[in-house]
């Protein structure tokens, strides 16, 4: 299968590393904002074509699909461009930064019948898969999820410590992971959602601190704390409080409530959530089926984010 990848930054490289391990996938073109550094990365990963034009990449012979790791504000427009060009698409989280754009992507996916998947990686991390399997087997019922999403980003830098050309967002990007995961793990729609936020940064134009509360129809609760001001351990940490066990998930690793590590190495074919996400995308295309984290399956998350944004705007 020939694919293209747009976005040669920190997360694009994670996908290139993952694709290397999968086999049978050829990256035919790499798209970046600036040509020279994009060419350097393409050379490193033996990608034959580099460009600053998504349409040029999509026009390369034999391309079946695209992976988008571009700035958030470009996701919806580019996902639609890919599908209108007849290509399956995986767009990194978030799908969009507005409810209207999210709906438009879903409508194009429905009309074209192409695979359109969103990079909700938490559905694929072995740690969260372990918990999900317990829930599916009715061996665990979630009472509450307590989640901390903490970064130190008082300047506009990416995960590699390089200046960003766009501004990240606690609500539409980082909260999207947890809002979707909460509904997915509980197997119950979110019926109540509330958010408050701290001051808006004078230069970045975004709130640097946020608190979100959620309630599912089955009674489960979720408390999410987010910050770009945290000068300490970075990342997202999930505490599942269940009826007969407590689990703490840190990306692909899992611990019990007493901080004893749980072996999740046999949960899936890899311990890398990004690789598992990409495997699902390619397999869904090959098998002609809807993938886990399809745009249709994650769309309710973006409706909740829209409702929260309205609350915050009115406050």
User: Rounded to an integer, what distance in angstroms lies between the CA atom of residue 21 and that of residue 156?
Assistant: 31
pLDDT in tens, 135-172: 999 999 999 999 999 988 776 665 556 666 656 789 99
List of the chain residues with pLDDT < 70: 155-167
End-to-end CA distance of the chain: 49
Place of tokens 């009115």: 314
Q: What is the pLDDT of residue 152?
A: 85
CB burial readout 71-84, b (16+ within 10 A) else e: bbebbbebbbbbbe
Q: What is the pLDDT of residue 203?
A: 83
Q: What is the pLDDT of residue 165?
A: 63
Q: What is the pLDDT of residue 37?
A: 95
Q: What is the pLDDT of residue 167?
A: 65
Q: What is the pLDDT of residue 162?
A: 67
Q: What is the pLDDT of residue 156?
A: 64
Q: What is the pLDDT of residue 313?
A: 92
In angstroms, what CA-CA distances link 223 with 137, 148, 218, 247?
25, 9, 16, 15
User: Rounded to an integer, what distance in angstroms lies between the CA atom of residue 94 and that of residue 173?
Assistant: 5
Give the global pTM: 0.94
How many CB atoms neighbour CB 10 within 10 A?
15
Q: What is the pLDDT of residue 105?
A: 98
Q: What is the pLDDT of residue 202?
A: 86
Longest dimension (CA), the chain: 55
Domains delineated in the chain:
2-120+274-293 (3.40.50.720), 125-267 (3.30.360.10)
CB burial readout 156-192, b (16+ within 10 A) else e: beeeeeeebeeebbbbbbbbbbbbbbbbbbbebebee
């Amino acid at each position: 299968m020939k694919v293209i990848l747009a976005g040669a930054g920190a997360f694009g490289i994670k996908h290139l590393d993952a694709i290397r391990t999968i086999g049978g996938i050829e990256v035919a073109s790499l798209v970046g904002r600036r040509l020279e550094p994009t060419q350097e990365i393409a050379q490193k990963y033996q990608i034959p074509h580099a460009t600053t034009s998504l349409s040029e990449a999509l026009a390369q012979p034999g391309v079946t699909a695209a992976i988008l790791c571009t700035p958030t504000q470009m996701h919806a427009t580019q996902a639609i461009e890919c599908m209108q060009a007849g290509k399956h698409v995986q767009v990194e989280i978030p799908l969009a930064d507005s409810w209207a754009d999210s709906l438009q992507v879903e409508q194009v996916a429905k009309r074209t019948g192409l695979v359109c998947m969103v990079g909700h990686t938490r559905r694929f991390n072995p740690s969260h898969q372990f918990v999900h399997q317990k829930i599916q087997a009715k061996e665990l019922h979630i009472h509450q999820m307590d989640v901390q999403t903490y970064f130190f980003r008082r300047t506009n830098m990416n995960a590699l410590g390089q200046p960003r050309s766009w501004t990240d967002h606690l609500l539409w990007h980082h909260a999207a992971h947890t809002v979707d995961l909460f509904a997915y793990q509980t197997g119950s729609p979110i019926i109540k959602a509330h958010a408050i936020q701290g001051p808006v940064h004078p230069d970045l134009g975004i709130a640097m601190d946020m608190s979100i509360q959620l309630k599912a129809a089955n009674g489960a609760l979720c408390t999410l704390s987010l910050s770009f001001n945290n000068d300490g351990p970075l990342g997202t940490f999930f505490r599942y409080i269940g009826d007969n066990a407590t689990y703490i998930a840190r990306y692909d690793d899992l611990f019990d409530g007493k901080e004893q590590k749980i072996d999740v190495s046999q949960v899936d074919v890899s311990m890398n959530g990004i690789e598992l996400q990409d495997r699902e995308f390619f397999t869904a295309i090959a098998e002609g089926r809807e993938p886990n984290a399809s745009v249709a399956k994650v769309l309710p998350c973006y409706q909740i984010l829209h409702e929260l944004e309205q609350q915050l705007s009115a406050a």
